[in-house]
Structure 1
Amino acid sequence: MTPRLTRHATSEGPRWALDGRYLPAGFSLAAWLALPTDAAQAQLAAPERGAPADGPLLAPIEDAQEAWASGVTYLSSRMAREAESQSADVYQKVYSAARPELFFKACGWRTRGHREGIRVRADSAWNVPEPELVLLLDSAGGIRGYTVGNDVSSRSIEGENPLYLPQAKVYDGACAIGPGIVLCAADALRDLAIDLQIHRGGELAFAGQTRSSQIKRGLEELAGYLFRELSFPHGAFLFTGTGIVPDESFTLQAGDVVRIDIGGLVLENPVL
């Protein structure tokens, strides 16, 4: 069984668990991601497992980590951006350029977890979830595993002007990851099934599928660009882009429930 980290609320504060049992109270993701790979693996193998982790799930990220995101890494995403934008050539160029699009998405404390509410902007007319494979990166930029991410976005704001991207992407309730972190090497992530379902009033309102093999750029390439001129001493999370984008006939509404399944790891969030 592939090891899985989860983070839980307890009476003593947030606590990490491995495969459903609590790790020692002093375990922190930040310190673990700062260790060399061999030492990190040894640390998880060494401690005896604690009690069953029965506390409510929290987003598997600490305040010390940041979540960043990659844009226009799927052909379907490039085409969707061209259709929405008044500056379509921007997306054509970034899709084929040597340098990828990277942008800040959220700090750890602003990130929502499994079954926590996400939001759409009140000043946006067209809003969508973006299901994404999210890499867990250590302090050296190495890939330690993955989680599921929802890069909630305002397509109407981004489409109006690409310079509005931070407002379209970064706001309260716009970033969700979870429910846990699957610990694995990069090779295990190259062809994962990605499935999106949006339920409204108990009915399926939208569904889409893709695979991580459709990402144009290598996972290590994306991580490498993020770490070129930035240091992340406590590790980082990197969204790798979306290949499922609802067309302009669909926009998220309060009461919707977004379900994202990547390789059997399921993140679900209601829209507030």
Structure 2
Amino acid sequence: MGRAAERPQAFLPADWPAATLVGRIRTAEGPTPVLCRNGRLFDVSAAATVADLLNGWPQAPAGRDLGPVEDFDFDRNPLLAPVDLQCVKAAGVTFAVSAVERVIEERARGDAARAEAIRADLRDRVGADIRAVTPGSEAAARLKAALIAEGLWSQYLEVAIGPDAEIFTKAPILSAVGHGAQVGVRSDSAWNNPEPEVALVCDSAGRALGATLGNDVNLRDFEGRSALLLGKAKDNNASCALGPFVRLFDEGFTIDDVRTARVDLVIEGPDNYRLEGHSSMDQISRDPLDLVRQAMSEHQYPDGFVLFCGTLFAPTQDRDAPGQGFTHKVGDVVRVASPRLGVLENEVTTSKAAPPWTFGVGDLMRNLAGRGLLSAETAQ
């Protein structure tokens, strides 16, 4: 990706000197949590894991001062995904446009060539109505009845306007990749796209402590063929990217900033292809904290969890042949950006060709034990 000369300012939030940021870097010793305060970066490996750090927040170890964050060598110590033991969850179909696109996938049976013929009619007939109702409301129930009567109902519309949000597990613990890493799509997928999102980061009590950027890489052909293929569509090697940092909530950055965030997307291909789009969180159908509540309603996450909030972005522009829509090519560079959260940039490859995920929970525990970082007081 040509990142050797990249300066931290290129991926930090625009107001980084005022931001409280938590992340992870790869060091010679092993994965290391870092905390950025007042523009300075601190090694807080005494907390052992980001999960422990956030479960004890706002208390945190003083840490070892690594100097100004803008001078730190992230090429020598690359950024990892800014979470570790947290479960990675995702909410789907939380925007009206994405709801309509999921219905299109379903009706096209994952065939991109059929999608455009369905799109114009369905978006005109359903899209405006979905935007006008609150999920789970009486008005939503009336719309559901009307759509059923017209033969337009879908399981995707159920989670778009019904009382229950779609919440699923996106990726195993420690499998997410960070800024600068490769992201993977299945080698047997012919219709896929990035999903630029804001992800909330929560502790074991369900407190939303901050937010980060995410790319919920999606296979439209697999999920379109059958919703039962969601696992194959969503969870593959290197198919989940998070970063660059978790920005923690404080007086200068709150959940209201998440509710109004704009997420920009740029895709630049090796074939000189360029696509730009954006997702505006103020268009979301369900409040982000309601999504957190639903994720926690009958589950526990002792190490906390990350929750992708969904995306407005669904690329429909033809990339190659007319009527074929958009799909990734190996070598695409995907840039997800939001002023208050920074930039998450990754290059696309296949899940088979991406570096294999080999460092699991057992490896992390052995590494921390070898560094003398595990004790009964680790989380204090």
TM-score of the superposition, structure 1-length normalised?
Answer: 0.92
How far did residue 83 of structure 1 move? 1.3
What secondary structure, in the 3-state scheme, does the structure 1 residue paired with 2:246 have? strand
- The farther-off stretch of 149-158 and 193-202 is 193-202
* 1:50 matched to 2:73: no
* 1:215 matched to 2:236: no
Choose 1 or 2 for highest CA Rg.
2
Matched to 2:19, the amino acid is T
2:344 match: 267
* 1:230 matched to 2:299: yes
How far did residue 49 of structure 1 move? 5.0
Asked if the contact 2:23/2:50 (under 8 Å) is kept, the reply is no
- Identical-residue share of aligned pairs (%): 36
1:82 match: 103
**Structure 1 residues 135-174: aligned runs within 5 Å:** 135-174=200-239
Asked if the contact 1:197/1:204 (under 8 Å) is kept, the reply is no
Runs of 4 or more consecutive aligned structure 1 residues displaced over 3 Å after TM superposition = none
2:121 match: none
Matched to 2:35, the amino acid is L
- 2:81 maps to which of 59, 84, 96: 59
Matched to 1:59, the amino acid is A
Structure 1 residues 118 and 34, CA gap change in structure 2 (3 angstroms) = same
- 1:29 maps to which of 50, 59, 65: 50
How far did residue 23 of structure 1 move? 2.9
Supply the distance in 2 between the matched residues of 1:250 and 1:202 (Cα, whole angstroms). 13
* RMSD after superposition: 1.7
2:162 match: 97
Matched to 2:184, the amino acid is R
- The farther-off stretch of 179-188 and 237-246 is 179-188
- The farther-off stretch of 194-203 and 143-152 is 194-203
What secondary structure, in the 3-state scheme, does the structure 1 residue paired with 2:27 have? coil
What residue ranges of structure 1 are gaps of 5+ in the alignment? none
Supply the distance in 2 between the matched residues of 1:137 and 1:195 (Cα, whole angstroms). 24
Map Cα deviations across residues 31-69 of structure 1 (whole Å, 9 max, x no partner).
12323xxxx12326xx1651235321111111x211110
What residue ranges of structure 2 are gaps of 5+ in the alignment? 1-17, 110-152, 317-323, 350-380
Matched to 1:50, the amino acid is D
Asked if the contact 1:129/1:150 (under 8 Å) is kept, the reply is yes
2:325 match: 249
How far did residue 110 of structure 1 move? 1.2
- The farther-off stretch of 219-228 and 81-90 is 81-90
Supply the distance in 2 between the matched residues of 1:97 and 1:56 (Cα, whole angstroms). 42
- 1:5 maps to which of 13, 22, 42: 22
Map Cα deviations across residues 153-205 of structure 1 (whole Å, 9 max, x no partner).
11001011111111111111210101111111322211011101100127452
- The farther-off stretch of 183-192 and 154-163 is 183-192
Structure 1 residues 77 and 11, CA gap change in structure 2 (3 angstroms) = same
Supply the distance in 2 between the matched residues of 1:128 and 1:189 (Cα, whole angstroms). 23
Asked if the contact 1:65/1:107 (under 8 Å) is kept, the reply is no
Supply the distance in 1 between the matched residues of 2:217 and 2:335 (Cα, whole angstroms). 13
More strand per residue: 1 or 2?
A: 1
More helix per residue: 1 or 2?
A: 2
Asked if the contact 1:114/1:268 (under 8 Å) is kept, the reply is yes
- The farther-off stretch of 123-132 and 11-20 is 11-20
Asked if the contact 2:90/2:308 (under 8 Å) is kept, the reply is yes
